[in-house]
C-alpha cells in the first residue's frame, strides 16, 4: 500500500511538472512575442520639409533635443516592459505549478478511485465490482478490464473451493468401505496376528486421512464466507468445553493450564459450529505443539467493541517470519517442533479462514521469551439491542458449542 501511494505521488508530481512546464513555456513565449512586437512598433517619423534656406540653428538644436527625449522615453518604456515581463514570468511560474497540480489531481482522480476500490476487494469479497460509469474512455476501459479480471478470479476461487469440498465429501465413501472391510477381516474367527496388526495400522492412517478431509471441508466452508446460522456465541463457553474435552491429553503431557476463561464471556455473533472448531483448533495446537511439563494460558476478554480469544504457550524462541506463514495450509515450523509430524498442517489455516469469515482478525506473535501467542478477535455483541433480544428469547441462555445452551 505504501509503495502504491508513493507511486501515485510520483505520477502526480510528474504531471504537475509537465503541466507547469507547458504553462510556463507558453507564458514565456507570449511575453517574448509581446516584447518583440512592442520594440518594433516604434517607427521613426519623417521630418517635415523645411522652407527654402534650411532650418535655423536654434530650430535644429531643438529638434535634436526632442529626438533625444523621445529616445530616452522609449528606452525607459523598454526597461519597464522588460522588468514587468520578468515579474509576470515569476508569477506565471508559481501559477503554473498550482494549475499543474490541480489539473494533475483532476486527471488522476479516477485512477485513485479505481485504486481505492480495488484495494477494498480481496479474496473474501471478489463478488464486488468497480462499476465505473462515464464516457467510454481509457479510464472506463481500464475499470472494465479490472472487473473482467475480478470475475475470472471469482470463478476460479469458487471452482477451487467447490472442488475441495466435493472431493473431500466423495472420498468419505471409499474410506468408509475400507473401514468396513477391515472390520470384517478382523471379525473373522481367530484372525491372524499379522492381520490384526495391519488392521490397526490401517485404521490409524484412515483416521488421519479422515481428519484431513474433515479439515478440508471446514476450510472450504469457512472460505466461502456464507454463514447462515449466525447467533450470539460465548467464546468463553467454547473455551471451557474445549479444555474439558482435552483434559486427558493435558494431563498426559503434564501441562499447566492458566485458565483465565469465564463461562459466559467474550460474546460475538457467528456460526457456533465454525467458532467451536476455531477454539478447538487453537487449544489443540497449543497442546500438540508443546513440550512435556510446559504451560498454556487461555484467556477470553472483551471491551464492548471487540471480543478476543487468546492462547499463549511457552517453549523455544520462534522466528516471527516463519510464524507469519503458519496460516497457510500445510505450513509448519519444522520437524524439530514437538508434535509437528503428527499434525495435518491445516489447523491454523482453518482458524484464519474462520476468523476472516466472521470479519475478525488473527494475530500470531512469537514471544520474546519463547513460545507463541495467538489472538483471535471478532466484533463484540455486548450491549447490542439485537443480541439482547435474542438472549431474552432464549431465556438469557448462551450457546456453548455442544449443541446445548447454558443458563
How far apart are alpha carbons 250 and 244 in whole angstroms? 10
Question: How many whole angstroms separate alpha carbon 203 and alpha carbon 207?
Answer: 6
Query: What is the rounded distance in angstroms from the CA atom of residue 83 to the CA atom of residue 69?
Result: 21
Q: Which of 340, 338, 316, 314 has its CA nearest to residue 326?
A: 340
Total residue count of the chain as it appears in this document: 407
256 forms beta bridges with 295
% of residues, the chain, pLDDT over 70: 79
Of these ranges, 15-19, 149-153, 227-231, 236-240, the one predicted with the greatest mean pLDDT is: 236-240
What tens digit of pLDDT does each residue of 225-268 get? 656 678 899 999 999 999 999 999 999 999 999 988 877 888 99
Name the most confidently modeled range: 8-12, 174-178, 331-335: 174-178
Nearest to 312, CA basis, from 240, 369, 252, 270 = 369
Report the C-alpha gap between 212 and 217 in whole angstroms: 9
Q: Is the pLDDT of residue 33 over 90?
A: no
Q: How do strand 405-406 and strand 398-399 relate by DSSP bridges?
A: antiparallel
Task: Evaluate whether 269 touches 229 at the Cβ level (below 8 Å).
Answer: no
pLDDT in tens, 57-77: 677 777 777 878 888 887 787
> Where does residue 360 fall: left (phi above 0), alpha (psi -120 to 50 degrees), or beta otherwise?
beta
* pLDDT tens digits, 109-133: 888 888 888 887 766 677 788 887 7
Question: Which of the four pLDDT bands, split at 50, 70 and 90, describes residue 53?
Answer: low
Which has the closest alpha carbon to 34: 89, 97, 111, 106? 89
Give the confidence band of 50 by pLDDT, cuts at 50, 70, 90: low
pLDDT of residue 254: 93
Identify the residue whose cell numbers are 507469519. 324
From CA 246, how far away is CA 234, in angstroms rounded? 19
- Amino acid 390: pLDDT: 43
Whole-number pLDDT of residue 243:
92
pLDDT at res. 239: 93
Q: Where are the beta strands (DSSP E) in 171-253?
A: 231-234
SS3 112: helix
Average pLDDT for the chain:
77
The H or E element containing residue 391 is helix 385-393
Give long-range contacts, CB 8 A cutoff, 24+ apart: 317-321: 317/366, 317/367, 317/368, 317/369, 317/370, 318/366, 318/367, 318/370, 318/371, 318/372, 319/366, 320/365, 320/366
pLDDT recorded at residue 264:
81
The C-alpha atoms of residue 111 and residue 104 are separated, in whole angstroms, by 11
Amino acid at each position: 500500500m505504501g509503495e502504491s501511494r508513493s507511486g501515485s505521488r510520483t505520477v502526480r508530481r510528474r504531471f504537475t511538472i509537465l503541466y507547469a512546464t507547458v504553462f510556463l513555456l507558453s507564458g514565456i513565449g507570449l511575453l517574448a512575442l509581446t516584447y518583440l512586437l512592442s520594440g518594433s512598433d516604434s517607427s521613426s517619423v519623417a521630418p517635415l520639409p523645411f522652407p527654402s534656406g534650411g532650418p535655423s540653428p536654434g530650430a535644429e538644436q531643438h529638434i535634436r533635443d526632442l529626438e533625444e527625449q523621445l529616445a530616452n522615453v522609449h528606452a525607459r518604456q523598454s526597461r519597464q516592459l522588460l522588468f514587468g515581463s520578468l515579474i509576470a514570468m515569476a508569477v506565471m511560474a508559481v501559477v503554473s505549478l498550482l494549475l499543474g497540480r490541480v489539473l494533475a489531481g483532476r486527471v488522476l482522480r479516477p485512477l485513485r478511485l479505481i485504486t481505492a476500490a480495488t484495494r477494498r476487494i480481496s479474496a473474501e469479497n471478489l463478488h464486488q465490482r468497480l462499476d465505473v460509469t462515464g464516457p467510454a474512455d481509457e479510464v472506463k476501459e481500464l475499470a472494465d478490464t479490472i472487473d473482467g479480471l475480478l470475475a475470472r478470479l471469482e470463478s476460479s476461487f469458487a471452482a477451487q473451493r467447490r472442488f475441495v469440498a466435493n472431493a473431500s465429501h466423495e472420498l468419505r465413501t471409499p474410506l468408509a468401505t475400507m473401514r468396513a472391510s477391515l472390520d470384517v477381516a478382523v471379525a473373522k474367527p481367530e484372525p491372524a496376528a499379522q492381520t490384526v496388526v495391519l488392521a490397526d495400522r490401517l485404521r490409524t492412517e484412515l483416521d488421519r486421512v479422515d481428519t484431513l478431509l474433515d479439515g478440508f471441508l471446514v476450510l472450504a466452508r469457512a472460505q466461502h464466507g456464507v454463514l447462515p446460522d449466525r447467533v450470539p456465541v460465548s467464546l468463553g463457553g467454547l473455551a471451557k468445553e474445549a479444555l474439558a474435552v482435552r483434559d486427558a491429553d493435558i494431563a498426559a503431557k503434564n501441562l499447566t493450564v492458566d485458565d483465565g476463561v469465564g463461562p459466559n464471556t467474550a460474546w460475538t455473533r457467528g456460526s457456533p459450529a465454525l467458532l467451536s472448531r476455531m477454539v478447538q483448533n487453537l487449544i489443540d495446537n497449543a497442546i500438540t505443539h508443546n513440550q512435556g511439563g510446559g504451560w498454556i494460558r487461555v484467556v477470553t476478554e472483551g471491551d464492548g467493541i471487540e471480543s478476543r480469544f487468546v492462547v499463549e504457550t511457552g517453549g523455544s524462541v520462534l522466528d516471527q517470519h516463519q510464524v507469519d506463514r503458519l496460516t497457510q495450509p500445510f505450513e509448519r515450523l519444522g520437524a524439530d517442533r514437538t508434535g509437528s509430524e503428527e499434525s495435518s498442517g491445516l489447523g491454523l489455516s482453518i482458524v484464519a479462514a474462520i476468523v476472516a469469515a466472521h470479519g475478525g482478525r488473527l494475530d500470531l506473535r512469537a514471544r520474546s521469551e519463547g513460545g507463541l501467542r495467538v489472538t483471535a478477535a471478532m466484533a463484540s455483541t455486548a450491549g447490542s439491542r439485537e443480541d439482547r433480544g435474542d438472549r431474552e428469547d432464549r431465556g438469557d441462555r448462551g450457546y456453548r458449542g455442544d449443541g446445548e445452551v447454558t443458563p
